[in-house]
Every structure is written in structure tokens, then in C-alpha cells.
Amino acid sequence: MDMIDKFMHAVLSITFFVFFLHYRLFTSLVATARSLFKENVSGKVVLITGASSGIGEHVAYEYARRGACLAVVARREHRLRQVAAVCEIIGSPEVVYIVGDVAKMEDCQQFVEATVSYFGHLDHLVTNAGVTPVCMFQDYDDITKASPAMEINFWGSVYSTYYAYGHLKKSKGKIIVIASSTGWLFAPRLSFYSVEISVMPLESACECGKAMVAGSCRGDNYLTVPHWYEWTKLWKVFCPGIMDRWIGFLLMPCNSHNEVPTKKLTHFVNGLTQFLSS
């Protein structure tokens, strides 16, 4: 058994490294080829959950710029109305906004059906609605306070997909799932967030939205924004201890004011930028 174990270990590790390099080369060639044949979403019907602010709002704007018809969903009606108005100004032929809570199964059924009965079909579903509860596990006085993260981030995506699936199959459409790097980089104070799928503002919501829609039109299976963050997956796989300690160090409060080193670092960089530009 020991011999077999050693043999398998050697074979799999060597083939992995040889395969990995070729695979990376292959996937970048495929990505280049795909960008030549990217999907034209003009006139297509796109349903976006959590489109009233943040990344979802900017994903809506990018689809609008490309001429897609939109159904935008969230709980805050006044924000949705504003987003819908902007989408129409910047290029969407038609936008409907639907007030709904993705944590409720009946709402998901209702907003999918409303979209399809209004536009006649559905081409893309973007499951983006999500919340980020920031709390140390031991600081929850009532553990049921943690459940909305699972209801919204996890079940919200599942319910929306469940009701949209048949329509997307008919149109040979796409499902775009917005997840988070905390799925592989487990961060302190984000326990319930990490179990499904960032903490540091590494990219603006606007740039994220643009990159995500471009990726969806290219047909990318996976997209990491910002792109360099993809390397953290390898770090996590090969040096999990180092990665966990580093993230723990960056995100754990280091004084009684609950300040984390990343906040201090951001203040320092902002101060330096202001100083240099003045």
C-alpha cells in the first residue's frame, strides 16, 4: 500500500504541474478566441436580482449600455425606479422594475414569471442579491440573526435559478452567479458569508459590473475581478496556512476601537495619495 501511495503521489503531482501550465495556456487562448465571437445582448432579456445598488446596479448599467431589455429586482422600490430610469437613458430599450425579496420563494417565482410574461422570454439571469454580515462567530448573541445570509445569498440564488431554469433552457440562455473570493479565502468575522460563496474594496462596483457583463458575453465559465485575485486560489491550495494567517492578520481588530489593519492601511494610502497630489 505504501508503494502505491508513493507512486500515486508522484504521478499525480508531476502530471498536475505539467498539465497545469498547458491548461493555463489553453484557457487563455480559448478566452482570446471567445472574445472574437462574443454574444450580442442587444434586445435580449436580462433579469438581475439585487440591482438597486452596488455591483448589481452597475451590471444593469452595463447591460443597458449594450442595449439589453432589463428586469431589475430588489426590495427598495425607490432605488429600483432610479436605476431603471438611468438604464433607459443609457441605452436599454425597455426596463421593468419588480419589488421582491429573494429570500421568499414565492417572490422569486413571481418576479421570474412577471419578467417572462412582460418580455415573452428570458435570456440571462444574474443572481447577485446578497448581504454581508460582519460579526465574529462568538459575538452572535442570537444565532438566528445569522440566517438571513443563507436565506438571501444562498437560497435566494437557488430559488431564482429554480424558477428561471425552464425559461433559460428554452432560450439557451445563461445564468450569471455573483459569488465572492471569501468562498476560498475564509475571513474572520465573515463566517456565514464564507460558507456560501470581499472585504477589501479592490475594484469599484462600476468596473466589476463592466467586467462581469463582458465575461458573460464572452461565455466565460469563471471570472475573477480583479483578475490578479485568481492567484490567491493557488496560494490557498498550496500554502493554506500562510494564506489563513495573512487574512486573519489583515482583518482581525487590532485595538479596542475595533480597527482592523486593512482600515489603517487604507487610511495611510489615502493620506499618502492626497499628500502626493497636493
Q: Which residue is associated with the grid cell 493554506?
A: 240
166 binds, among ligand NAP, ligand NAG, none (CB under 5 to 8 A by kind): none
Please choose, from the candidates 215, 207, 163, the residue with its C-alpha nearest in 3D space to the C-alpha of residue 58: 207
Q: Which is nearer to ligand NAG, 43 or 166 (CB)?
A: 43
Q: Is 266 in the site for ligand NAG (CB under 6 A)?
A: no
* Residues 198, 104: Cα–Cα separation, whole Å: 25
Question: Which residue in 13, 15, 40, 266 binds ligand NAG (CB under 6 A)?
Answer: 40
Tell me the one-letter amino acid at 153: N
* Residues 46, 160: Cα–Cα separation, whole Å: 13
Is residue 222 part of the annotated active site? The answer reads no
Choice among 97, 159, 163, 193 that is catalytic: 193
Question: Which residue in 34, 39, 53, 140 binds ligand NAP (CB under 6 A)?
Answer: 53
Q: Which is nearer to ligand NAP, 83 or 116 (CB)?
A: 83
Q: Is 38 in the site for ligand NAG (CB under 6 A)?
A: no
74 binds, among ligand NAP, ligand NAG, none (CB under 5 to 8 A by kind): ligand NAP
Q: Which residue is associated with the grid cell 447591460?
A: 63
Q: Where are the alpha helices (DSSP H) in the chain?
A: 2-36, 54-65, 77-90, 105-119, 147-149, 156-171, 191-194, 205-218, 231-238, 240-251, 261-277
The grid coordinates listed for 172 are 439557451
Question: Which residue in 48, 50, 64, 119 binds ligand NAP (CB under 6 A)?
Answer: 50
- 208 near 225, Cβ under 8 Å? yes
Q: Where along the sequence are the contacts to ligand NAP (CB under 6 A)? A: 49-56, 74-76, 79, 101-103, 128-131, 152-153, 178, 180, 198, 205
Which residue numbers are catalytic?
Answer: 193
Q: Where along the sequence are the contacts to ligand NAG (CB under 6 A)? A: 40, 42-43
